[in-house]
Structure 1
Amino acid sequence: MSVLPPRWRLPYLALLTVIGLLLSASALEAYQLSGGTRPWEPFLWEFSSVLVIGALALGVHALVGRLRGRPWPQQLAAHALALPVFSGLHITGMFGLRLLVYGWVGVDYRPDDVPTLLIFEGGKDAVSYISFCLISRGVWMARAAESARRELAEVRLARLADQVQPHFLFNTLNLISSVMYEDVARADRLLCQLADLLRQTLAAQQRVEHSVREELALVQPFLALMQARFGPERLVVQIEADNAALDCRLPALLLLAPVENAVKHDVARHRGRVIVVVAATRDGERLRLRVSNHGDTPVPEAPPDPDGGLGLRNLRERLEARYGGAARVNFGPDGSGMSLNVDLPCAS
């Protein structure tokens, strides 16, 4: 049973049991019509065959897997050698079980002579072996297709995640450059904070996904950096997360670009104070994330990007690649500011 993953072992045994019962019920009717007096015999005959065949089918599946990718002549030669071994093991195991049970209950059992058994059972075994090979090949091809799909999704996620880093770095350096000639010491502190943040984000990118707790641990120092840039009286930060949401997992650096956009674009559009809120809540098996900003006296000639810019497009593509249609994104005006709401499955 080692060929089967653990989660498939019980279903496989259940399948063999159902097949054995169906065959036994059919054989029992014919047995009784022929005058048989021991109703357990058809069950022994059928289950001895089904159990041995079930074990051998796993070996056939493993053999087909090992032969994948080899030239067809090699595969055919291997199967030509394996078929008589399959039939021999089936006949030996099946009649060995029968003789063991008959001897245990004290009933005489005389199977047909060996040449008759080889001809009768060998023909059926050939059909069974070919059927198992075809089924197994289909299973291996399905596994290969699923593996390729997962690898493609992982490559796409990695590519999208890589887009976050240069985009975030470019915008942050632009923010820092505005104070470079006004206050050199302050700019130096900001660059040191940025270097620490970049080290954390590079480490996060290697993990592909992490918990909400780890994501907020990246968002917080970025917002602290931006507060140092704009001043705490101009940029007010609120991070709200319930304990149930902190262990949910999400793609790494998912919130960094939306938070950066909320600061970079929206603080510039307001003359007064701006409040940026990052919230995470859990509702059953769903994780709800919100990034919103509200400010005083927006500048009318600088309307927000209705699509959310590159950061939001990247976020949508990453969620689509990771969750398909199970994730939802809503972005739009919210009072005196903008709000981004993300609803996705919570995987702990």
Structure 2
Amino acid sequence: MTATTPNTTPPPPQRRLLWWAYAALVLGVGLLLSVAELQHYQARGGPHPWEPFLWELSSVLIVGLLAIALFRWHARLRDQGAPLWRLLLGHLLGLGLFVLLHVAGLLLLRASVYALMGLPYQRDELPTMFAYEGAKDSISYLLFVFISEGLRLANAEQARRHELERLRSELAEARLQRLSDQIQPHFLFNTLNLISSVMYEDVQRADRLLCELATLLRQALNAQHSERHTLAQELQLVQPYLTLMQARFGERLQVSLNASTAAQGCLLPSLLLIAPIENAITHDVAQHLGPVQLRLCAEVAAGQLQITVDNSGTAPSRDTRAGAIGMANTRERLQASYGARASVKLESLGSGSRLSLSLPAQMAEATNLSANPKATLTAADTPR
């Protein structure tokens, strides 16, 4: 049999409040019974008005302490999974001990107080006291058993709810981690394919692209250490990718990034914008012969961070193409993080498309605003 170390940590404020409430309840019941007994006592011509308070308060105090022990005894029987007959036998023995301790406790208290007052303590015969108190204690004991069972069930239900919330939280974290892990391979493979197609045309250019890819991967790895970061940090992560794409498509791709200062201070899931921008470039620019303008705008309105990605290329059909993985990832990450408070909308602009992201505007405590709030990238910005 292993010994368990008692918990010496102080109880939380809520538990202390419950103990004080229980003590107040016991005292209140004792005083109420004492006042009622005082009326009968004075009607009989009793000489000491404090006696009814001693009689009732001593009895209620002992019962209040025994009720705590009874609660723990009932919980122990139930936690052991005792069958019904053992449960009944346990409570039958508990009732006997309850009556014995009640009578012994009140006799000790009353005798001590009478001795301090210098008065003789005249009590009833013990059989009479046990019969009288035993009848009342049987009703009290049964009532306390029902209360103990109700409290035990309530505590068990609360524990189940806490465990369910913990499991839901862990599931959500695992889900977000899985979604985040899908991002890097998705754009990494496409980027490597682009570099491979340039390598035999211009070795130095391919080398610069590899350097940009290394920068992108380093920043992506750093971003994955935290579930969320600011939009300013996200834009810093997006720019190396855009540099890679502009080096690949040249003047066919023109990019504009516009984000207000308030929008840049908002938090969003890390690497959220990689998939939408990648889809717009790899699926629209690659399939469009003429120049394509990609414009990202971000602002805060009505407590929401509004991000739009406009593309002047092809009409929106990305949900049914290879880009569906990235779009589904974006939707699922926002749903897992914000639920109904976030939305993703893809619509046609006639000669192009618009992807709209909306999520709660949550400001970071310390915001990195090193990104230019009115930064504009064009093909001319890319080294050749």
Same fold (TM > 0.5): yes
Report deviation, 1:39. 2.0
CA 1:314/1:55 → structure 2, altered by over 3 Å: closer, same or farther?
Answer: farther
**Does the aligned pair in 2 maintain the 1:258–1:312 contact within 8 Å?**
no
Correspondence for 2:316 among 302, 308, 313 = 302
**Residue 271 in structure 1 maps to residue 293 in structure 2:** yes
Structure 2: how far apart are the matches of 1:138 and 1:76? 17
- CA offsets 1:138-166 (integer angstroms, 9 cap, x no match): 10111111111221122122222212122
Q: Which residue pairs with 2:57 in the alignment? A: 47
1:186 lines up with 2:212 in the alignment: yes
Matches within 5 A, 1:62-141: 62-67=72-77, 68-72=79-83, 73-141=85-153
AA matched with 2:73 = L
Identity %: 26
1:340 and 2:358 are equivalent in the alignment: yes
5+ residue gaps, structure 2: 1-9, 196-208, 245-254, 285-291, 320-326, 346-353, 363-384
Amino acid at match of 2:221: A
**Counterpart amino acid of 2:293?**
R
Instruction: Check whether the contact 1:290–1:340 (CA below 8 A) recurs between aligned residues.
Output: yes
Question: What is the Cα deviation at residue 300 of structure 1?
Answer: 7.8
Q: 1:22 aligns with which of 28, 32, 46?
A: 32
- State the partner residue of 1:207: none
How far apart in 2 are the matches of 1:304 and 1:259?
15
Structure-2 change in CA distance of 1:220 and 1:64 (3 Å)? farther
Q: How many equivalent residue pairs?
A: 305
Q: Which moved more, 1:180-189 or 1:8-17?
A: 180-189
Structure 2 CA distance, aligned partners of 1:113 and 1:119?
10
Deviates further, 255-264 or 32-41:
255-264
Q: How far does residue 225 in structure 1 lie from its aligned partner after superposition?
A: 2.7
Contact 1:164 1:311 survives alignment (8 Å): no
Q: 2: distance between equivalents of 1:75 and 1:168?
A: 53
Distance 1:33 1:266, change over 3 A: farther
How far the C-alpha of 1:260 sits from its partner, in A, is 5.8
* Gapped regions of structure 1 (runs ≥ 5): 205-214, 247-253, 280-287, 321-327
**Match for 2:57: what amino acid?**
F
SS for the counterpart of 1:179 is: helix
Contact residue 27 and residue 42 of structure 1 kept, 8 A = yes
User: What corresponds to 2:307 in structure 1?
Assistant: 293
Query: For residues 229 and 317 of structure 2, what CA distance do their matches in structure 1 show?
Result: 28
TM-superposed deviation, 1:188: 3.3
In structure 2, the residue matched to 1:283 is none
Deviates more, 1:96-105 or 1:290-299: 290-299
CA contact (8 A) 1:168 1:260 kept: no
